[in-house]
Amino acid sequence: MATTNDLKNGTVLNLEGQLWSVVEFQHVKPGKGPAFVRTKLKNVLSGKTVDKTFNAGLKVETANVDRRDMQYLYKDGDSFVFMDASDYEQIFVPEATVGDAANFLLENQAVIMALHEGNPLYVELPASVVLEVTYTEPGLQGDRSNAGTKPATIETGYEIQVPLFIEQGTKVKVDTRTGDYLGRA
């Protein structure tokens, strides 16, 4: 148990049997009336985001979330297999839990896995990864009114937009949160 005054970004709360992660919070002390805490919460399992207001000092139940360094090994059917870096134990994680992170996962890549009572909640990738472009059309210079970009398929099979000068076989840096091209590696 903690009070709403102890909330921080990333804290996981157990509200009505569901796990919610604090995305942002703001302590508000109006001129008239009691203080309160305005929060934006994200459901850990579904990804749904809601705004919730708590009275200041209210007790809320926090969930014990264990964040571990893991290594992605391989995909096995509908599951992804990760290995705990400390004890070499392998964990099978469903595709739905991995989510969009699957677009940027390469074998033997280090990730951070959040676990609650031994169950994987989500996979956290580094902010950017270096991946090789496996297929892209040759870029043609010509008349256009916007910046020249073209689709390119990276080695995980995901498609991103890259500048016209990028060729097949080029290693590029990709933002794992948005899927944007950041530059050549």
CATH class in words for 66-124: mainly beta
Query: How many CB atoms are closer than 10 A to CB 110?
Result: 11
- Tell me if 66-124 shares its fold with 128-184: yes
pLDDT tens for 69-114 read: 999 999 888 889 999 888 888 989 888 888 888 888 888 889 988 8
pLDDT tens for 38-67 read: 999 988 877 788 999 998 888 988 888 888
pLDDT attached to residue 63 = 85
Question: 2-60: what fold?
Answer: SH3 type barrels. (2.30.30)
Contact (CB, 8 A) for 149 and 139: no
Contact (CB, 8 A) for 159 and 146: no
Residue 10 pLDDT > 90, yes or no?
A: no
Q: Where are the domains of the chain?
A: 2-60, 66-124, 128-184
CATH class in words for 128-184: mainly beta
